[in-house]
Amino acid sequence: MISRLQPKNIDILSLTTIATPHRGSAFADYMFDQIGPKHVPRVYRTLESVGFQTGAFGQLTRAYMRDEFNPRTPDQLGVRYYSYGASLDPTLWSVFKFSHDVISRLEESENDGLVSVESSRWGEYKGTLVGVSHLDLINWTNRIKSLVWRSMGWEVNFNALALYLDIAGKSIPSSIEGLRKC
């Protein structure tokens, strides 16, 4: 929106991204390699038949981001860019164990199960959220994890809503424990 639509009625001062694949994801590359170009349309149709939207999948590859998206979407003068990454050390039963290991092997970088810390870096890097998965960042696992962890007497150390409010500058007490400044 900032560099391509260039809205005239909005004064954009900054953009903050969180675990955004600015340089694509090695896991997307891996999946496309495994599926093969011949089978991609069939996989898309299958995913769409159960309600998944597939339009952006091809845009998550490292080649697409490097060769197409980033060159066509330059940073704009006067806008400050900030970014955060996330890293996870998944357990054996984590939904992200396989994808995390693929990204670690192919990119040799910490990652949140879908996006590497290196791919997340854009503009002024504010730090890495440690022990946080990509689903934690969009608050999909926060409620269930909080309920289970609290019932077991464990402390929950990440709250996605508090993070976003803190970044937006709202004055609420927030705990962003595990943020490693880089």
Q: Please check whether residue 6 lies inside any domain of the structure.
A: no
CB atoms within 10 A of CB 130: 18
Quick check: is 162 in a domain?
Answer: yes
pTM: 0.79
Which domain does 158 fall in, by range? 14-180
Q: Based on the structure, what is the number of domains in the chain?
A: 1
Q: Which two tokens stand for residue 176?
A: 């962003």
In-domain check, residue 2: no
Q: Any idea what the CATH number is for the domain that residue 37 is in?
A: 3.40.50.1820
**Nearest partner of 113 among 141, 140, 132, 138, judged by Cα:** 132
- Give me the tens of pLDDT residue by residue for the chain, a chain 182 residues long: 888 777 788 888 899 999 999 999 999 898 888 887 787 778 778 777 877 676 777 889 999 999 999 999 999 999 999 999 999 999 888 888 999 999 999 999 999 999 999 999 999 999 999 999 888 888 766 566 667 666 766 666 677 888 888 888 854 444 455 555 55
3-state DSSP assignment of residue 51: coil
Look at residue 8 and tell me if it is in a domain.
no
Looking at the domain assignment, is residue 9 inside a domain?
A: no
Contacts of 43 (CB under 8 A, 6+ apart): 35
